[in-house]
Structure 1
Amino acid sequence: MALHNRIDSRLLKEKIKSTPQKRKTISFYKYHYITNPQEFRDILYANLEVIGVLGRIYVADEGINAQISVPEENLEKFKDYLYSVDFLNGARLNIAVEDDGKSFFKLKILVRKKIVADGLDDGSFNVTDQGAHVNAEQFNKLADDPNTIIVDMRNHYESEVGHFKGAVCPDVDTFREELQIVEDIMKEQKDKNLLMYCTGGIRCEKASAWMKHLGFKNVFQLEGGIIKYTHEVKERGLENKFVGKNFVFDERLGERITNDIIAKCHQCGSPCDDHTNCKNDGCHLLFIQCKACAEKYNGCCSDECKEIIVLPIEQQKEIRKGINKGRQVFKKGRSEKLNLKVR
């Protein structure tokens, strides 16, 4: 069995979009020492591929981080397999809040040094000594306490479209930067409640342990992140303190939590919180674009990219030859090509 999907992504995307098959978008993670990440990765791929799982999974010797979609008819098969893996038995599955089942189009499992790039030396502190996990009700109570500082542990382009009321949203491009800024924010306030949150909880697991290592006493993290919180407040009729959209790292690029639109189109400045990637294959910049600008720029971030995408394919390939789109990751929403400069 092939342990990679080499079919053209565009063909896979068309196939998934045209199928009536219902799917569930799920995320989960687990910090656990994996002796042989490559071997574990191959076994995982073989078992998930056969039941139709799609998505992106990172495996490292410190654990697993997964964002996937599963055919509804195979959901129980997926759970049976996942929970048959000792360290994943009982792992929390975060079910998407707003889901059309078209979040992923292929299965991609990668072995990495870490499941989240944090820049920390895990041997220098106890990564298992984490902050207290709180549910939605406990989060709301802490949020109402004037002695609490709420910190968004996500990147600027995530908090830009949605965040908790009163939260400190650091203007950062990476989680690594975030940790230093939070340390600076809190250094004179070590006796205050530090209440952290992220999308599904994984970043807070490491961040809360690091902050405790630095001497912060009252460290709390939202269990299951924004995703679990949203389900809980709906199910229990609690006040929803989150406003706007929850940014997600799949084809959806966001799931609506409330009707509040707190961001602006990066091209014209009109109220908008719809992220997109520039249609120019040599750019693919992530930015916010309203429908009017999408039509005006043909889905591109600039006139320059708009002009490129109408050129013959071979000419486009020549123009983008040698460009490493991966190095543009830190330009999310900040390119000089954009009319509206973010922050």
Structure 2
Amino acid sequence: MALHNRVSATELKQRLAQETFKRVTISFYQYAKIADPKAFRDQLYLTLNNLGTFGRVYVAAEGINAQVSVPEHNFEAFKEALYAIDFLNGVRLNIAVDDDGKSFYVLKVKVREKIVADGIDDPTFDMSNRGKYLDAQAFNELSGNPDTVIVDMRNHYEYEVGHFEGAIEVPSDTFREQLPMAVEMLADQKDKNIIMYCTGGIRCEKASAYMLHHGFKNVFHLEGGIIEYTNKAKKEGLPIKFKGKNFVFDDRLGERISDDIISHCHQCGEPCDTHVNCANDGCHLLFIQCDKCREKYNSCCSEECKNIHALPLEEQIELRKGVVKGIQFNKSRHRHL
């Protein structure tokens, strides 16, 4: 059996649209030592594919990081298959807060150097020495303490559309940039409680270990991130201190946590928190666009891209030849429309 998808994206999206059953979007991660990531990856692909799973899974010697979509009728079988793996037995499964079942249309399982690109090359760094978990109730209590600093360990475009009340942003484009920046920003607050959070827990867990490695003492991280916090708070009837939308790295590009709209359209400045990718295939810039500007610019980020997008496909392809996509697909906070 093939260990990679061989069907076109167009056909896969059509198949997804024709499905008559519901899907559940799930994320999970686990830091663990995997002796042979390639062999583990191949077996995992077969297991997930047999259950009709779509999504993005990264495997490395330091563990696994996954965001997947599972047919609802296969959810229990999916959970049993994961729990049958020693280091994943009982792993926390974060169920999406706002889910249309269309988060993914293909399964990709890849071997990476790390499950979170962190830029850490210090051999004395110990991932097992990490901060203390906070559940929803404990987070609400500690975050109200005046001697507590709440740190958002997500990228600027994630923070822009939603974050916890009073949380500080570490203004960077990547997680590897954030880690040393967070240490520097908080250098004079080592005596305070430091709470770190992210989307599902994987980044803030590593960040908490990094802060401890650099001499901070009272370091905490939000168990299961924003997703688990929201689900637990709703279930337990707790106040939800997160405002706005939680950015997610799948086709939804966000899940609504509160009705607050705290960001603005990047083109006209009206209140808006809808992320889109520019419709020009030679750009695909991630930006925030309201409905009026979407109509005005035909789902593009600029007049230039709108004009290119209107050209015949053959001409668009010709224009894209030689374009450095690393520049075009730029999510940098310094890239302005």
TM (normalized to structure 1)? 0.96
RMSD: 1.2
Matches within 5 A, 1:253-272: 253-272=253-272
Matches within 5 A, 1:45-124: 45-121=45-121, 123-124=123-124
Secondary structure of the 1:43 match is helix
Corresponding position: 1:208 with 2:208: yes
- Preserved contact between residue 282 and residue 328 of structure 2 (Cα < 8 Å): no
Deviation at 1:169, TM superposition (A): 1.1
- Preserved contact between residue 285 and residue 330 of structure 2 (Cα < 8 Å): no
Secondary structure of the 1:196 match is strand
Instruction: Tell me how far apart the structure 1 counterparts of residues 188 and 144 of structure 2 sit (CA, whole Å).
Output: 21
Matches within 5 A, 1:239-318: 239-318=239-318
- Preserved contact between residue 287 and residue 332 of structure 1 (Cα < 8 Å): no
Deviation track 1:5-25 (CA, whole Å, cap 9, x = no partner) reads 121212212221232220000
Secondary structure of the 1:188 match is helix
Deviation at 1:31, TM superposition (A): 0.6
Closer, same or farther: CA 122–29 of 1 in aligned 2, 3 Å: farther
Secondary structure of the 1:243 match is strand
Corresponding position: 1:4 with 2:4: yes
- Preserved contact between residue 172 and residue 333 of structure 2 (Cα < 8 Å): no
Q: Which residue of 2 aligns with 1:189?
A: 189
Deviation at 1:314, TM superposition (A): 1.6
Secondary structure of the 1:56 match is strand
Instruction: Tell me how far apart the structure 2 counterparts of residues 284 and 122 of structure 1 sit (CA, whole Å).
Output: 35
Instruction: Tell me how far apart the structure 2 counterparts of residues 164 and 131 of structure 1 sit (CA, whole Å).
Output: 19
Instruction: Tell me how far apart the structure 2 counterparts of residues 308 and 10 of structure 1 sit (CA, whole Å).
Output: 22
Closer, same or farther: CA 91–178 of 1 in aligned 2, 3 Å: same
Deviation at 1:298, TM superposition (A): 0.7
Deviation at 1:318, TM superposition (A): 1.2
Amino acid at match of 1:221: H
Q: Which ranges in structure 1 are unaligned for 5 or more consecutive residues? A: 339-343
Secondary structure of the 1:139 match is helix
Secondary structure of the 2:243 match is strand
With 320-329 and 183-192 compared, the bigger mean Cα shift is at: 320-329
Instruction: Tell me how far apart the structure 2 counterparts of residues 323 and 17 of structure 1 sit (CA, whole Å).
Output: 32
Instruction: Tell me how far apart the structure 2 counterparts of residues 162 and 233 of structure 1 sit (CA, whole Å).
Output: 17
Q: Which residue of 2 aligns with 1:140?
A: 140
Corresponding position: 1:220 with 2:220: yes
Q: Which ranges in structure 2 are unaligned for 5 or more consecutive residues? A: none
Instruction: Tell me how far apart the structure 1 counterparts of residues 93 and 122 of structure 2 sit (CA, whole Å).
Output: 25
- Preserved contact between residue 196 and residue 222 of structure 2 (Cα < 8 Å): yes
- Preserved contact between residue 96 and residue 227 of structure 1 (Cα < 8 Å): yes
Instruction: Tell me how far apart the structure 1 counterparts of residues 205 and 330 of structure 2 sit (CA, whole Å).
Output: 23
Deviation at 1:329, TM superposition (A): 4.8
Deviation at 1:237, TM superposition (A): 1.0
Instruction: Tell me how far apart the structure 1 counterparts of residues 69 and 177 of structure 2 sit (CA, whole Å).
Output: 30
Instruction: Tell me how far apart the structure 2 counterparts of residues 326 and 251 of structure 1 sit (CA, whole Å).
Output: 20
Secondary structure of the 1:172 match is coil
In the alignment of these two chains, the number of paired residues is 337
Matches within 5 A, 1:160-171: 160-171=160-171
Secondary structure of the 1:68 match is strand
Instruction: Tell me how far apart the structure 2 counterparts of residues 165 and 218 of structure 1 sit (CA, whole Å).
Output: 20
Deviation at 1:262, TM superposition (A): 0.2
Q: Which residue of 2 aligns with 1:341?
A: none
Deviation at 1:255, TM superposition (A): 0.1
Closer, same or farther: CA 229–199 of 1 in aligned 2, 3 Å: same
Deviation at 1:180, TM superposition (A): 1.5
Corresponding position: 1:152 with 2:152: yes
Secondary structure of the 2:140 match is helix
Amino acid at match of 2:256: R
With 203-212 and 317-326 compared, the bigger mean Cα shift is at: 317-326
Deviation at 1:332, TM superposition (A): 4.4
TM (normalized to structure 2)? 0.97
Secondary structure of the 1:121 match is coil
Instruction: Tell me how far apart the structure 1 counterparts of residues 226 and 208 of structure 2 sit (CA, whole Å).
Output: 16
Closer, same or farther: CA 333–182 of 1 in aligned 2, 3 Å: closer
- Preserved contact between residue 173 and residue 330 of structure 1 (Cα < 8 Å): no
Secondary structure of the 2:4 match is coil
